[in-house]
Structure 1
Amino acid sequence: MSMAAGKGSGLVADRPAGAGHAFVTLVTNADYAMGATALVHSLRRTGTDADIVVLHTGGVEAEALLPLSAAGCRLVAVDLLPLSDAFRERHARGRLHADAPFTKGRKPQFHSPLDNFCKLRLWQLVEYSACVFIDADAIVLRNIDRLFDYPEFSAAPNVYESLADFHRMNSGVFVARPSMDTFDKMLGRLDQPDAFWRRTDQTFLQTFFPDWHGLPVTMNMLQYVWFNLPELWDWRSIGVLHYQYEKPWERDHPKARKLRPLIDLWQAYYKDSGIPDIDGLANPRKGDAP
């Protein structure tokens, strides 16, 4: 266990690091533990030698973490960031969704926006020279270890409705270089008087790293591309599939009919069986979605 991941730091790891690089995800409740299970299954199938680190908050019961521990993940318990009461009030679920409502899709009830800032604790994992963060509502479809060689801060654009979205970043997948100096600077900038990060960590990270390096959209393919921009979809090139908004483990969510092929694929990875040949899957065509 490194000093950065010990008592008093806000992190406690269940085992030492086993590699120089790590894929990292964040689990804040039992639902996202399900998501992370599918993500870990998908990463294992790529043959990566990197560690798989699961940051988990106090909102996750030990039983929900058992499949992740059994899959060989390094579990790191994290405290919420030391933020002011005023900051917490502005970014609480009800307040945030009222002041900055989601208009393009529906966030599930288990979405806890304030917890998203725990992603920043990745920069405390200084036992790794590079980390690739992947949201727990994503799966990896092919080996993406080359991302460890990308510079900090690398992320894909938030493209899912139109090409005009290329100027916005999506923090569901990013490349970072852990550093306590960077972490301390983040904390100093995050909780300024009246600071309001409308998309929580995503808005903050784009502000903190204004010259972010662009990854291809295929490294963070957002599920709404399936029916909004089918011309961008090519199974043979997609590295990471990200289920933004509605989640594939939800029952009968509003977009379930449109996204059925993607939901079925996630279910296969979650069960870790019946996974099809990804390159042989049919791409969507304009007008196909019901």
Structure 2
Amino acid sequence: MIRSRPARGRHAYVTLVTGDGYAIGAEALVRSLAMSGTEADIAVLHTAGVSGEWLERLARLGARLCEVDLLETSDAFNRAHARDALHAAAPFTKGTKPPLHTPLDNFAKLRLWQLDYEAVVFIDADALVLRNCDRLFAYPEFCAAPNVYESVADFHRLNSGVFTARPSEATFEVMMARLDVPGVFWRRTDQTFLQEFFPGWHGLPVIYNVLQYVWFNMPALWNWETIRILHYQYEKPWQADHPRAAELAPLIALWRGVAEGRPLPDLGALPGPA
């Protein structure tokens, strides 16, 4: 169920916040969307775990607040996808993630199929929009960029940090019927589920979801002139104790400038990877 005021338009950028830790990122994302010149709604799906202070801050920036419940999943599903159980079965070995929410929270992202829009673009709260992306509303369901940050061999896997969708209660009901079945285990939560649910997913150009580790793992692919969405996967730019802070310093500085309300710099003038 979604509790919110009515939509203002037919299209929306959507993000998910399940606690104050990610609300910090969502505030910067909303600021960056506003700076992109979009005329679409900016909708924030949020659970009861977000404080009123942060909700007010997001609302003041023009975000449509949409309160959602976590999905009604079985006890067995919840045990399999609890943080300790999931990370023991499928540990993160490429980077570290702060404990800002639980893996189960990720599945609340699927609530966007219950929204009252014709087309949406989902963007994770740990991302920045650097250039207008409104053309994505004309893209079909389901489009996502590949999960590329180490090798081009990863082009066969999608990253669910950015994707296009067409909200539909019927689609949501089919998703719920396939999500929680006996013995199921979604290794990377919503990302693994969406790849299986949309096996013929359309590939977005990587410029719509450039993962921050490309900066040091694949520097030849980094081009400030073309990046439209920068996604801070793994460590977050607002972390006080950031194990990759030295390597990612220019990207962190860019995020902090947006978070503090400063305009985007001339991206073409920014230095590239060393």
CA contact (8 A) 2:12 2:40 kept: yes
CA contact (8 A) 2:90 2:187 kept: yes
2:80 is matched with which residue? 90
Does residue 41 (structure 1) correspond to residue 26 (structure 2)? The answer is no
1:160 is matched with which residue? 149
1:55 is matched with which residue? 45
Does residue 12 (structure 1) correspond to residue 27 (structure 2)? The answer is no
Alpha-carbon distance in 2 for matches of 1:185, 1:109: 30
Deviation track 1:30-49 (CA, whole Å, cap 9, x = no partner) reads 01101000000000001100
Helix, strand or coil at the partner of 1:253? coil
Q: Matches of residues 73-152 of structure 1 in structure 2 within 5 Å?
A: 73-125=63-115, 127-152=116-141
Helix, strand or coil at the partner of 2:174? helix
Which TM-score applies when normalising by structure 1?
0.93
> Percent of aligned pairs with the same residue?
65
Amino acid corresponding to residue 282 of structure 1 in structure 2: P
Alpha-carbon distance in 1 for matches of 2:48, 2:89: 27
Alpha-carbon distance in 2 for matches of 1:164, 1:212: 17
Helix, strand or coil at the partner of 1:77? strand
Amino acid corresponding to residue 122 of structure 1 in structure 2: L
Which consecutive unaligned segments of at least 5 residues does structure 1 have?
Answer: 1-9
Helix, strand or coil at the partner of 1:58? coil
Alpha-carbon distance in 1 for matches of 2:252, 2:240: 11
Q: Matches of residues 164-179 of structure 1 in structure 2 within 5 Å?
A: 164-179=153-168
Q: CA deviation at 1:274?
A: 5.3
Does residue 26 (structure 1) correspond to residue 4 (structure 2)? The answer is no
2:261 maps to which of 272, 276, 282: 272
Alpha-carbon distance in 1 for matches of 2:264, 2:240: 21
Q: CA deviation at 1:114?
A: 0.5
Deviation track 1:202-235 (CA, whole Å, cap 9, x = no partner) reads 0000000000000011100000000000111101
Does residue 182 (structure 1) correspond to residue 182 (structure 2)? The answer is no
Q: CA deviation at 1:251?
A: 1.1
Does residue 64 (structure 1) correspond to residue 70 (structure 2)? The answer is no
1:212 is matched with which residue? 201
Amino acid corresponding to residue 259 of structure 1 in structure 2: L
Amino acid corresponding to residue 202 of structure 2 in structure 1: H
Helix, strand or coil at the partner of 1:55? strand
What's the RMSD between the two structures over aligned residues?
0.8
1:221 is matched with which residue? 210
1:247 is matched with which residue? 236
2:185 maps to which of 183, 188, 196: 196
Q: Point out 4+ residue stretches in structure 1 off by more than 3 angstroms.
A: none
Amino acid corresponding to residue 80 of structure 2 in structure 1: R
Alpha-carbon distance in 2 for matches of 1:273, 1:158: 30
User: Residues 217 and 87 (structure 1 numbering): CA distance in 2 closer, same or farther, change over 3 Å?
Assistant: same
Deviation track 1:247-287 (CA, whole Å, cap 9, x = no partner) reads 00001311110000000000001011153111221221xxx
Which consecutive unaligned segments of at least 5 residues does structure 2 have?
Answer: none
Amino acid corresponding to residue 235 of structure 1 in structure 2: W
Q: CA deviation at 1:130?
A: 0.2
Amino acid corresponding to residue 2 of structure 2 in structure 1: L
Alpha-carbon distance in 1 for matches of 2:35, 2:212: 21
